[in-house]
């Protein structure tokens, strides 16, 4: 066989699993925590460091790297017909405040492994192949999640993203300018032929069933809410119980209601309160104000709507009975997503050809792929994570499984290049 491989067949090329694993460990140093996880919030200096690394690593395998007006990074490998829209891979390099080494990260580094393999084998493709590092996927600093892929897909405006503030009042635009990754090209002004995303499952199903690959058929619906309750700060020792306007007690009742609502709406429904701010947060002061978030999810948008309506009713009743002021707002609505049947089939055939145990699965977590599916044929590839644990410093995955996912990604991309 010549060193210049033809694009006429997928062939049997595979990624370098050891190099992929080395990349995972190396990038984990940017924002690494004492417990072995990563704190790499979007648009921080740690984010800038990993972006710089990403640029150099992609350039080393023959790609050009650019970034748009919201800092989304694009590593491009030319095709034999460079006028064609690129087939893309992607995920994110930002993390939760106590995040792990794999969530999102293997989607970017697995894509890098694909680009490296194509480069080292001199494999030609008709379409350009691009790898995307999306800005602010987690939403842990600037809500909501998947903000910049959302702008790319036309769900939000660029100005909406630039005006977002973190809990310290820092604007997204200022933070982006601060790390030097604000490009000129408008976010979304970028053609795409198809999109694939590799990710850990973030749940226990694949591991429990001894499946190596999850063939992701879609993403469940999800909505986020912000709740503010205002009562009256008062002295804890001299204010009688019957005369208090205790915001925290009522907030606790609402939080309990979130769990009950989810439990009452079927086996797939979930409800979570993950962020609480209590003011003034002093041991001898009756709390006068509480802010908290609510997250409802289900594969059926109708169930999500029912949970929302029930929570609104209960929250208003509880606030009124306690004599408190209630502010309740939906801040994010991501309807259930169904991925492209041909892209799903490419993932399935790739897993079968490589001999990996696989099963169809719906994603319980949100991903950039959910927004990309609105504008281009899309699918995802899951691999197991230990105990289904994610958004945690102890998050873990096996090197062989990550490599398997990258190999499926490689074949799915090459098959799609021939099909489109």
Q: Cα separation of 375 and 377, whole Å?
A: 7
Q: Cα separation of 372 and 364, whole Å?
A: 17
pLDDT at 1 over 90: no
Which pLDDT does position 9 carry in this prediction? 75
Burial of residue 166, with CB atoms counted within 10 A of its CB: 0-12 exposed, 13-18 middle, 19 or more buried: middle
Name the residue with tokens 């030609």. 124
Average pLDDT in the 10-29 region?
96
138 annotated as a binding-site residue: yes
Q: Where are the alpha helices (DSSP H) in 264-398?
A: 301-322, 341-354, 368-372
Q: What does residue 205 show for φ and ψ, rounded to 5 degrees?
A: -65, -50
- Each residue of 255-309: pLDDT tens digit? 999 999 999 999 999 999 999 999 999 999 999 999 999 999 999 999 999 999 9
Average pLDDT in the 407-419 region?
98
Q: What does residue 341 show for φ and ψ, rounded to 5 degrees?
A: -65, -35
Averaged pLDDT of the chain: 96
State the pTM of this model: 0.85
- Is the CB of residue 87 less than 8 Å from the CB of residue 78? no
Average pLDDT in the 131-149 region?
96
Which pLDDT does position 223 carry in this prediction? 96
pLDDT at 127 over 70: yes
Which pLDDT does position 5 carry in this prediction? 45
Q: What is the DSSP letter of 186?
A: P
Q: What does residue 292 show for φ and ψ, rounded to 5 degrees?
A: -150, 165
- CB atoms under 10 Å from CB of 290, counted, come to 25
199 annotated as a binding-site residue: yes
- Is the CB of residue 50 less than 8 Å from the CB of residue 91? no
Q: What does residue 225 show for φ and ψ, rounded to 5 degrees?
A: -135, 150
Which pLDDT does position 107 carry in this prediction? 98
Which pLDDT does position 92 carry in this prediction? 98
Which pLDDT does position 3 carry in this prediction? 34
Average pLDDT in the 222-229 region?
96
pLDDT at 8 over 90: no
- Each residue of 69-94: pLDDT tens digit? 999 999 999 999 999 999 999 999 99
- Each residue of 359-399: pLDDT tens digit? 999 998 889 999 999 999 999 999 999 999 999 999 999 99
- What letters, b where the CB count within 10 A reaches 16 and e where it falls short, cover 199-231? bbbbbebbbeeebbbbbbbbbbbbbbbbbbbbb
Q: Residue 371's closest CA among 50, 122, 127, 153? A: 153
* CATH numbers and ranges of domains, the chain: 17-220+336-419 (3.40.630.10), 221-334 (3.30.70.360)
289 annotated as a binding-site residue: no
- Each residue of 25-59: pLDDT tens digit? 999 999 999 999 999 999 999 999 999 999 999 99
Average pLDDT in the 129-147 region?
96
For the ranges 1-15, 19-33, 186-200, 224-238, the lowest mean pLDDT is seen at 1-15
Tokens of 221: 């619906």
Which pLDDT does position 60 carry in this prediction? 98
- Each residue of 194-222: pLDDT tens digit? 999 999 999 999 999 999 999 999 999 99
How long a stretch of residues is the chain? 420
Peptide bond into 409 cis (omega under 30): no
């Amino acid at each position: 066989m010549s060193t210049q491989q033809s694009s006429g067949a997928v062939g049997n090329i595979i990624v370098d699993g050891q190099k992929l694993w080395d990349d995972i460990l190396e990038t984990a140093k940017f924002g690494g925590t004492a417990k072995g996880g990563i704190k790499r919030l979007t648009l921080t200096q740690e984010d800038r460091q990993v972006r710089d690394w990403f640029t150099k690593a992609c350039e080393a395998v023959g790609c050009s790297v650019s970034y748009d007006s919201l800092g989304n990074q694009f590593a491009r490998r030319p095709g034999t017909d460079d006028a064609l829209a690129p087939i893309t891979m992607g995920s994110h390099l930002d993390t939760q405040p106590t995040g792990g080494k794999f969530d999102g990260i293997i989607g970017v580094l697995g894509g890098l492994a694909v680009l490296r393999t194509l480069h080292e084998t001199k494999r030609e493709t008709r379409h350009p192949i691009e790898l995307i590092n999306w800005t602010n996927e987690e939403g842990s600093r600037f809500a909501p999640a998947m903000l910049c892929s959302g702008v790319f897909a036309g769900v939000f405006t660029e100005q909406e993203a630039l005006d977002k503030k973190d809990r310290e009042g820092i604007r997204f635009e200022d933070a982006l300018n601060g790390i030097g990754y604000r490009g000129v090209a408008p976010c979304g002004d970028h053609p795409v032929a198809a999109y694939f995303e590799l990710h850990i499952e973030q749940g226990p199903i694949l591991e429990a069933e001894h499946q190596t690959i999850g063939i992701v058929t879609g993403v469940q619906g999800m909505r986020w809410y912000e709740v503010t309750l205002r009562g009256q700060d008062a002295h804890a020792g001299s204010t009688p119980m019957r005369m208090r306007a205790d915001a925290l007690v009522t907030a606790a009742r609402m939080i309990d209601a979130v769990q009950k609502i989810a439990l009452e709406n079927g086996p797939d429904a979930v409800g979570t309160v993950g962020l609480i701010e209590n003011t003034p947060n002093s041991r001898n002061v009756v709390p006068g104000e509480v802010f908290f978030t609510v997250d409802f999810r289900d594969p059926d948008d109708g169930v999500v709507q029912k949970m929302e309506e029930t929570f609104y009713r209960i929250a208003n009743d509880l606030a009124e009975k306690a004599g408190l002021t209630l502010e309740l707002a939906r801040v994010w609505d991501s309807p259930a997503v169904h991925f492209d049947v041909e892209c799903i089939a490419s993932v399935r055939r790739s897993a079968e050809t490589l001999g990996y145990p696989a099963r169809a699965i719906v994603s319980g977590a949100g991903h950039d792929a959910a927004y990309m599916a609105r504008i281009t044929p899309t699918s995802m590839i899951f691999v197991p994570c230990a105990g289904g644990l994610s958004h945690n410093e102890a998050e873990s995955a096996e090197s062989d499984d990550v490599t398997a996912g990258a190999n499926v990604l490689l074949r799915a991309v090459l098959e799609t290049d021939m099909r489109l």
